[in-house]
Amino acid sequence: MKDESTLLEVKNLKTHFFLDEGTVKAVEGADLTIRRGGTLGVVGESGCGKSVMSYSILQLVESPGRIVAGQILFHRQLKCNGQSQMMDVIDLAALAPNSRAMRDIRGEEIAMIFQEPMTSLSPVHTIGNQIEEVITLHRRVDHATARRQAVDMLRRVGIPKPEERVDAYPFQLSGGMRQRAMIAMALACHPSLLIADEPTTALDVTTQAQILELIQELQRDLGMAVMLITHNLGMVAEICEEIVVMYLGEVVERADVFSLFREPLHPYTRALLRSIPRLGQIKQGRLDPIQGAVPDPYNRPVGCPFHPRCAQMMPGTCDRIHPELIERRDNRAVRCLLCEP
Amino acid sequence: MLQYILRRALLMIPTLIVTSLVAYIIIELPPGDFATSYVANLAAQGDMASQETARVIREQYGLDQPATVRYLKWMQGILTQGNFGIAFELRQPVSSFIWERVWLTLALSLGSILITWALAFPIGIYSAVKQYSIGDYFFTFLGFIGIAVPGFLLALVLMYVQFKYLGQTSGGLFSSEFLTAPWSWDKVLDLLQHIWLPVIILAVGGTAELIRIMRANLLDELRKPYVITARAKGLPEWRVLLKYPVRLALNPFVSTIGWTLPFLVSGSIILSVVMNLPTTGPMLLRALQVQDMYLAGALILILSVLTIIGTLLSDILLAWLDPRIRYQ
């Protein structure tokens, strides 16, 4: 998949947290690729490292967390005189978190929206002020232009009366409107990648659907790629083209959305899919949850991290050998000893 | 915003009336009056003073009238002529000598507040941002010492140092030649030469405390998601810090401006006695001891009014800083 269309490649990323109690390997081998304009879903249980992985891409992991290994290759398109397009590959993992180069990427090339639209916006600044800030930071425009662009952006994300709402404070807006404002802020500089970290978790179900539609619509209009982090498989099925499944900081399976739902390879993916409630399933009674809980982060299981909860565990093998992520010919990848040739 | 200020200012009026009542009740509360304590004082010095003397004094100062009448007369004098009544002990109108002490107390308080803030804000921010660094531990150590050492002890030590090594006599706010002199530029300069020591001593305790508060507030704010949002925009770290978490960490500070003043006034009494400072603290103490009721009442009233004004200012400032308050 190394062609012109590649936007971001994460290779064997490891982000660890060095705490007094020990080292938490929050991300322990994440590999993924995002195409220009593509949509990638990252799914997994709480604590599987999907958020930390996305924070790592923007170098937003705070001390005592640190990226300890791996590469994050961002293929930046440089527009020279509007005609020839040069590609510049930057390894974000090698940049210092507060370096100029990293800050130029944030907000301008890669933007992020978060779970809680209330607490993710400053309560004491107007949303206009917060949107204008990112515009004046990355574009050489005066205040009036930035304000006009902010109003345009608010209109684009479907906020009614944007000329008035631009001066509103976050607490004067509803949850859905706040998330729209957040999206307007993230997209103000037309980034080539939007990372959405569970963008609808804090919203009610009807608003969730609206926000998802909005993201899809803006993605089509602006041609940006979207990385959607979620534990909601239904959401992933709806808008993503490719899916990465994470377990305990590792990518355990990667596939296009159709193959993954039709033929899940990893036992964990199968267990995840079995645990989704379906209409018409009520008669059979209870849902089928995954056995056990996510292991203690300080004591990762030896061998395959999923073996203590795996129904198909092979004693003597799975609890000894740590499987590698195997690339298959059909452009899928899986990390399981059962699937090794 | 204007409406908010107006509403707040109007609300001050009933508060002021209640405050004056409470001030009056407080000075009326102790048993006896100036006449009894005057006679008792004379008796303690061996003079035989009769009940007749006490009666004459009571009549002279109107102490034989009912309390409500005296309160109304007192308030009438204050409101119409700025007359706070007579200070019994000095046999002078209270307003003739009280204001100089009030202004000096205010100057002392404001000076120490400004120094406190100038030191505490940057150090508190540094301590929070570099939590558990050597610098943070250093300032934490200094801070605990600052909180633990009483102001008067620090004053004694510094006065000794000033006398022994700088050869300056200390104590008081003026050199002897300016003590009774009318106000002039020279007197102001002389004041500035003396006032820095008590200002610093007063600031030490407050600074130490404020560093801890600022550090705790900012640590709370630094963990809020909007800080990550600001970083994700690509802002440089210092702009992230100053625009977002520091701004929100200021709120608790601003709301305490109002009662910094009475705290400094009551907290500085011992210091004022030790350093012989002509502030309101020692005067209030003396007035309460001899039941010089109009003087004590005037001091309590003025300090209360200043506190209420301070609270109003901090409320307005808070509303200006935080839209969540302004729009409710």
Q: What is the pLDDT of residues A233-284, one digit of tens each?
A: 888 888 899 999 999 989 999 999 999 999 999 999 988 888 877 666 555 6
> Which chain A residues are Cβ-neighbours of B228 within 8 angstroms?
55, 60, 114, 120
Picking from A313, A284, A286, the residue whose alpha carbon sits closest to that of residue A301 is A313
Indicate the DSSP class of residue A48.
S
| Closest CA–CA distance from residue B236 to any residue of chain A (Å) | 7
Q: Scan residues 149-208 of A and list those with Cβ closer than 8 Å to B.
A: 169, 171-172, 182, 185
Is A133–B229 a contact, with Cβ atoms under 8 angstroms apart?
no
Is B322–A124 a contact, with Cβ atoms under 8 angstroms apart?
yes
- CA atoms within 13 A of residue B223's CA, in its CB half-sphere: 7
**Position A67 confidence tier, pLDDT thresholds 50, 70, 90:** very high
Domain count, chain B: 1
> Which chain A residues are Cβ-neighbours of B244 within 8 angstroms?
122, 125
> Which chain B residues are Cβ-neighbours of A106 within 8 angstroms?
231-234
User: Cα(A290)–Cα(A248) distance, rounded to whole angstroms?
Assistant: 14
* Mean pLDDT within A161-176: 92
pLDDT winner (highest mean) among A172-186, A305-319, B311-325: A172-186
A333-334 and A250-256 strand pairing: antiparallel
> Which chain B residues are Cβ-neighbours of A123 within 8 angstroms?
226, 248, 322-324
CA angle B37, B39, B40 (to 5 degrees): 60
Tell me the per-residue pLDDT of A31-58, one tens digit each, with 9 for 90 and over.
999 999 999 999 988 878 889 999 999 9
Long-range contacts of B9-13 (CB under 8 A, 24+ apart): B9/B312, B12/B308, B12/B309, B12/B312
Cβ(A40)–Cβ(A243) under 8 Å?
yes
Is A103–B225 a contact, with Cβ atoms under 8 angstroms apart?
no
Is position B78 within any domain?
A: no
**What pLDDT shows up at residue B314?**
85
DSSP for B231-253 reads: HHTT--HHHHHHHTHHHHHTHHH
Taking 50 as the threshold, does the pLDDT of residue A308 lie above it?
yes
User: Cα(A20)–Cα(B54) distance, rounded to whole angstroms?
Assistant: 75
**What pLDDT shows up at residue A81?**
54
Q: Which two tokens stand for residue B75?
A: 């308030």
Q: Scan residues 278-307 of B and list those with Cβ closer than 8 Å to A.
A: none
Interface mutation vs chain B, best among A19, A98, A103, A122, most B CBs within 10 Å: A122
Is position B274 within any domain?
A: yes
| Closest CA–CA distance from residue A282 to any residue of chain B (Å) | 39
**What pLDDT shows up at residue B244?**
92
With a cut of 50, list the residues of chain B below it in pLDDT.
none
Is A124–B235 a contact, with Cβ atoms under 8 angstroms apart?
no
Tell me the per-residue pLDDT of B89-139, one tens digit each, with 9 for 90 and over.
787 888 888 888 888 888 888 888 889 889 999 999 999 999 889 999 999
User: Cα(B320)–Cα(B318) distance, rounded to whole angstroms?
Assistant: 5
Strand pairing partners for A3? none
Buried b (16+ CB within 10 A) or exposed e, A180-216: bbbbbbbbbbbbbbbbbbbbbebbeeebbeebbebbe
Is B232–A169 a contact, with Cβ atoms under 8 angstroms apart?
no
Interface mutation vs chain B, best among A105, A124, A153, most B CBs within 10 Å: A124
Is B248–A114 a contact, with Cβ atoms under 8 angstroms apart?
no
Taking 60 as the threshold, does the pLDDT of residue A59 lie above it?
yes
Is B321–A124 a contact, with Cβ atoms under 8 angstroms apart?
yes
Cβ(A44)–Cβ(A197) under 8 Å?
no
Q: Which two tokens stand for residue B250?
A: 């200021």
Q: Can you give the residue range of the structural domain that contains B128?
A: 102-321
Q: What share of chain B is helix, strand, coil (3-state, %, to 5)?
A: 80, 0, 20
Q: Which two tokens stand for residue A27?
A: 């991300």
Count of H-run helices and E-run strands, chain A: 10, 12
Is position B80 within any domain?
A: no
The CATH number assigned to the domain holding B297 equals 1.10.3720.10
Is position B4 within any domain?
A: no
Tell me the per-residue pLDDT of B211-256, one tens digit each, with 9 for 90 and over.
988 999 999 999 899 999 999 999 999 999 999 999 988 887 787 7
**Position A109 confidence tier, pLDDT thresholds 50, 70, 90:** very high
| Closest CA–CA distance from residue A146 to any residue of chain B (Å) | 15
Is position B270 within any domain?
A: yes
| Closest CA–CA distance from residue A103 to any residue of chain B (Å) | 4
> Which chain B residues are Cβ-neighbours of A178 within 8 angstroms?
none
Picking from A227, A238, A305, A241, the residue whose alpha carbon sits closest to that of residue A42 is A227
| CB contact B327 to A (< 8 Å) | yes
**What pLDDT shows up at residue A1?**
43
| CB contact A133 to B (< 8 Å) | yes
Q: What is the largest CA-CA distance in chain B?
A: 85
Is A116–B225 a contact, with Cβ atoms under 8 angstroms apart?
yes
Facing A60 at nearest CB: one of B226, B231, B243 = B231
Q: Scan residues 138-157 of A and list those with Cβ closer than 8 Å to B.
A: 138
Q: Scan residues 96-115 of A and list those with Cβ closer than 8 Å to B.
A: 98, 103-108, 111-112, 114-115
Is position B243 within any domain?
A: yes
Is A114–B231 a contact, with Cβ atoms under 8 angstroms apart?
no
Is B232–A58 a contact, with Cβ atoms under 8 angstroms apart?
yes
Interface mutation vs chain A, best among B223, B231, B318, B324, most A CBs within 10 Å: B231
Q: Which amino acid is it at A6?
A: T
Facing A171 at nearest CB: one of B226, B244, B324 = B324
Long-range contacts of B159-163 (CB under 8 A, 24+ apart): B159/B197, B159/B275, B162/B197
Taking 60 as the threshold, does the pLDDT of residue A83 lie above it?
no
Is position B38 within any domain?
A: no
Cβ(A255)–Cβ(A242) under 8 Å?
yes
| ipTM above threshold 0.90 | no
Q: Which two tokens stand for residue A209?
A: 């659907």
**What pLDDT shows up at residue B169?**
67
- Which residues fall within 8 angstroms of residue B201, CB to CB, at 6 or more apart? B151, B154, B155, B158, B271, B275
Is A185–B233 a contact, with Cβ atoms under 8 angstroms apart?
yes
Facing B324 at nearest CB: one of A111, A123, A137 = A123
> Which chain B residues are Cβ-neighbours of A122 within 8 angstroms?
226, 229-230, 243-244, 248
Which residue is listed with tokens 């267990």?
Answer: A271
**Position A285 confidence tier, pLDDT thresholds 50, 70, 90:** low
Provide the mean pLDDT of chain A: 88
CA angle A189, A192, A198 (to 5 degrees): 90
A242-247 and A250-256 strand pairing: antiparallel
User: Cα(A111)–Cα(A133) distance, rounded to whole angstroms?
Assistant: 14
- Which residues fall within 8 angstroms of residue B168, CB to CB, at 6 or more apart? B162
**Cβ atoms within 10 Å, residue A327:** 13
User: Cα(A195)–Cα(A111) distance, rounded to whole angstroms?
Assistant: 6
User: Cα(A38)–Cα(A241) distance, rounded to whole angstroms?
Assistant: 7
CB pairs under 8 A between A and B: 75
* Structure-model confidence comparison of residues B126 and A80, the more confident one: B126
Is A122–B236 a contact, with Cβ atoms under 8 angstroms apart?
no
Helix (H) or strand (E) holding B96: helix B95-129
Which residue is listed with tokens 């930035």?
Answer: A146
Is position B328 within any domain?
A: no
**What pLDDT shows up at residue A194?**
95
Is A137–B235 a contact, with Cβ atoms under 8 angstroms apart?
yes
Peptide bond into A64 cis (omega under 30): yes
| Closest CA–CA distance from residue A341 to any residue of chain B (Å) | 42
